[in-house]
Amino acid sequence: MKIDIEKTSEVERKLSIEIPWDRYQDEIREQVSRIQKRAVLKGFRKGKAPIEMVRRIYAEDAHQEAVNALAAEAVKDAVDKHDLKPFGNPYLTDVKTEKDKAVVMEAMVELEPVFELADYSNLELEKPAAEASDEEINQLLERLRENRGETVEMTEDRGLRKDDIAIINYAGSKQGVPLEEIKGKDFLVRVGMAELIPGFEEQLLGMKKGETREFDLTFPEDFAQAEFAGQSIHFSVHLKEIRVLQLPEVDEEFAKSFGKFESVADLMEGIRKDIVKNKEEESSKELRGNLARRLVEDNIFDVPPSLVDRELRNVIQEYGENLRNAGVSSQRIREMILQNEDRLKKTAEEHIRLLYIVGEIAEKEDIKATAEEIQNVVAKRARSTGRDVEELKEEYAKDGTLADIGFTIARDKVFQKLLEKAKVKEIRVQGEKSGKAGKKEETP
């Protein structure tokens, strides 16, 4: 048996294998003999069928099992000789057999990544400052007022304006044919909220009560209802009524209506605390994300392609679900997945690399999940689903979920340890009134 090994990447080796014809035939005979012992053929007891009949009927099976056995032997020889650490099972990429000639095979062997951890002590990281600006407090206050506001019919003789509430009847048609799917009666529109297809609300501006207006609009390419995506639709809209939102005064009575404030000052302070609390949670998430990105950026190495492919399926599924929840059509989702394939694959590679990095740090720092911690997670899930704890634990042990739980616990401990050592700078993000991206400033 002749074996040549080629390094195709840090985590892959390509094996070119040549097996003498006689050796291949010997293995075929061995496999036929094994098949004969378990074969059940009509007219014969199990294992008693003539060997030549078994050879003829199970020729393809014998060939496949012989190839697999010889490939496994060759791979083991190569792994032992070159001191390789395989990941998963090797796979054949090509097999050529020609009578009286050496059988030629090609096999790929994936290897566990070998890398040296970059220094992870005293990492310099950034996180957004958890602060509440006067503008944010006032914006939230306005939302509270709107929630407590009442709509009244507008009696002034004027056209529809931004922030007015329009009550309309509308109908859509295409090339003169009415569309039952695009039809509404007594439909409420808060003008300027951009809740409808682009351009619709703008067409309503200036309309007066009792007026009917007609216009054409093109639906977005990623519209949720695929049959209308990218289509030009003619609309007829009748404005039945204009209503305006009357907001309550910000006074002591308004503050007390929330049940836990005695004054306007108390209300404003409560709003500030809520904003800060939410920002603290967001800041903590972003800090962990920055830590993960830093670890991935500092530790560059190849990972097994099969793991990347598996994770890529998960990344694509999550990406697609997020788009679907945002109302994007199935056709557009497929297009966007193809357009972003390289980026999604890079994300999958980074996910896998982070798994190895965290695992390496956990081993180096002797960080692990305890049996009690894992049991607590399983017990919590069992309570939430009404399952028996031990039954669920046994199920998790079989499908790998138990190992995933253990890794998640260990990962959180690793992150906590690294963040305790890290030099964290709080960055204040200042938005610009023009709507452009804000600039970052380090807090004093």
Give the model confidence (pLDDT) of 310-344 as tens digits. Answer: 999 999 999 999 998 887 878 888 989 999 999 99
Q: Are strands 165-174 and 177-190 parallel, antiparallel or unpaired?
A: antiparallel
Phi first, then psi: what are they for 279, rounded to 5°?
Answer: -70, -35
State the amino acid at position 261 in one-letter form.
F
Task: Write the CA distances from 421 to 17, 233, 290, 425, integer angstroms.
Answer: 51, 60, 15, 13
Closest by alpha carbon to 152, among 56, 223, 27, 248? 248
pLDDT at 184: 92
d(CA 345, CA 348): 5
d(CA 385, CA 402): 16
State the amino acid at position 247 in one-letter form.
L
Averaged over 27-41, what is the pLDDT? 91
Residue 410 CB coordination number (10 Å): 21
Q: pTM of the prediction?
A: 0.74
Instruction: Fold for 150-246, please state it.
Output: Chitinase A; domain 3 (3.10.50)
Averaged over 188-211, what is the pLDDT? 92
d(CA 108, CA 104): 14
**pLDDT at position 414 over 50:** yes
Q: For the chain, what are the domain ranges?
A: 2-110, 150-246, 365-444
Q: Are the beta carbons of 127 and 117 closer than 8 angstroms?
A: no
Encode 61-86: b = buried (16+ Cβ within 10 Å), e = exposed. Answer: ebbebbbeebbebbbeebbeeeebeb
The tens digit of pLDDT for each residue in 87-110 reads 888 888 899 988 889 999 999 999
Closest by alpha carbon to 355, among 285, 404, 427, 287? 404
The tens digit of pLDDT for each residue in 243-269 reads 999 999 999 999 999 988 999 999 999
Residue 252 CB coordination number (10 Å): 15
What would the two tokens of residue 291 be? 């830590």
Query: Backbone dihedral region of 149: left (phi > 0), alpha (psi from -120 to 50 degrees) or beta?
Result: beta
d(CA 121, CA 119): 6
Q: Does the domain at residues 2-110 carry the CATH identifier 3.30.70.1050?
A: yes
Beta bridge partners of residue 152, listed in sequence order: 244
Angle of helix 371-385 versus helix 401-421 axis, rounded to 10: 120
